[in-house]
Structure 1
C-alpha cells in the first residue's frame, strides 16, 4: 500500500508539471491550425427547396417542398459546422392510397463543411454529417404507410456568395438513409428502400 501511495504521488506530481506544458502545446496547435477565438463567425440561415426519395421509396412517392433553418459557425478558415432543422412534405404516388396524401419529414442534422473563400466573397464547399428524421404519413395514408424513424448520412456540395454580413447560396444534398420501415414494396412484405436527394437555395447572415 505504501509503495502504491508513493507511486500515485509521483504520478500526480507528473500530471501537475505536465499539465501546463500540454496547455501550451494545445494553444500552439490552435494557432498553427488557424483557430482564433476572436475571429470565429456564427450565423443563421433559412433555406427553401425541393427533393424526394430515390430507389423503391421513390417509386411510390414524388418530389416535395422543404424548409430549413440552421445555426452555423466557422471556427477555422477552411472548416465550418452547422446544426439545424429541416421540414419537408413528400407527396405519395401510390395506388394503395388516395390522392393528395403525403409524408411529413421532420429532420435534425449536424454537418461539417470544408471549403475555401475565393476573392473574399465566394465559398464553394463540400460537407458530410449525421441526421435523424421522423416520418409521419398523412391520415389518409395510415394503414399502408407507418410512422418511422430513419437515420441519415448527408453528403452535401454547394456554393455561397457573401456580400457584407449577408450571404446567399445554393446546395445539393444526397442522404444515405437507414432503417426504412415506412412502407412495403407493393405486392410483397419487403420494406421499400431508398435514399433522399434534395436541392435548395439559402439566405442568411453572419455575426
Structure 2
C-alpha cells in the first residue's frame, strides 16, 4: 500500500521574510587593537601580548550578524626557559563568528557571540628550542558592545574567551606533558558600516 503526502513549496522570499532577513544586509569592516594571553598551564609560560585584527561584518538579520576575520598576536614567553629575553609566540588566526544582540536607541548594540577558528602559533628565534609551532582549533565565546558614532562609523569593546583544542606548544616544566589552557583577549574596535 502506498501513501502519498502533500509537498509543501516555500518560496525563498517568504523564508527570508519570516526570518526577518534583510534584502541588502548592512556590511562593514573594522579593526581591533587589544591585549590577551593564554590561561591555565599555558598562561604560566606565556605572558600578555598585544593583538591586531581586521574583520568583515554583515548584519544579515535584525538581531543576528556574522563576521569573518584575521587576528595577529604576539605574546612574550617565560625568559627563564629560553635563550633570548625578547622571545615570544606569534599567533595567526582565521575565524568565523555569529553575533546576536538588539539595536538600542539606534546607537547601541550589545551582543554575545560564538564561533570557530583556526590558529597557527609559531615561536620566534631563541624560543623554538622549548616552544613548538602548532595548529590550534579555537571556539570563541564573546561579549561586547558597539556604539554608532554617526551614519557610518562605530566604536566598540569586547572580551573573547576561546576554548582551545589540540594545543601542543610547550611541555610543562619537568614533564613530557603538553601545557593546556584557553585564550582570553580583550580589545577595542573602530570600524565602518555601509
TM-score range, shorter chain: over 0.9
Question: Partners in 2 of 1:36 and 1:126 — Cα distance?
Answer: 20
Q: Deviations over 1:126-181 (max 9, x none)?
A: 00000100000001011211110000000000000012111000000000011111
* TM-score with structure 1 setting the length: 0.88
1:189 aligns with 2:176: yes
- What's 2:159 paired with? 172
Name which one, 1 or 2, has greater alpha-carbon Rg: 1
Unpaired runs of 5+ in structure 2?
Answer: none
1:88 pairs, out of 53, 73, 76, with 73
Indicate the structure with greater helix content.
Answer: 1
Indicate the structure with greater strand content.
Answer: 2
Unpaired runs of 5+ in structure 1?
Answer: 1-13
- What's 2:142 paired with? 156
The CA RMSD measured in Å over matched residues stands at 1.7
* TM superposition shift of 1:33: 1.7
* TM superposition shift of 1:23: 4.3
* TM superposition shift of 1:27: 2.2
Are the equivalent residues in 1 in contact too, given 2:79–2:87 (CA < 8 A)? no
* TM-score with structure 2 setting the length: 0.93
* TM superposition shift of 1:93: 1.4
1:137 aligns with 2:150: no
Are the equivalent residues in 2 in contact too, given 1:172–1:200 (CA < 8 A)? yes
* TM superposition shift of 1:32: 2.0
Question: Partners in 2 of 1:153 and 1:36 — Cα distance?
Answer: 27
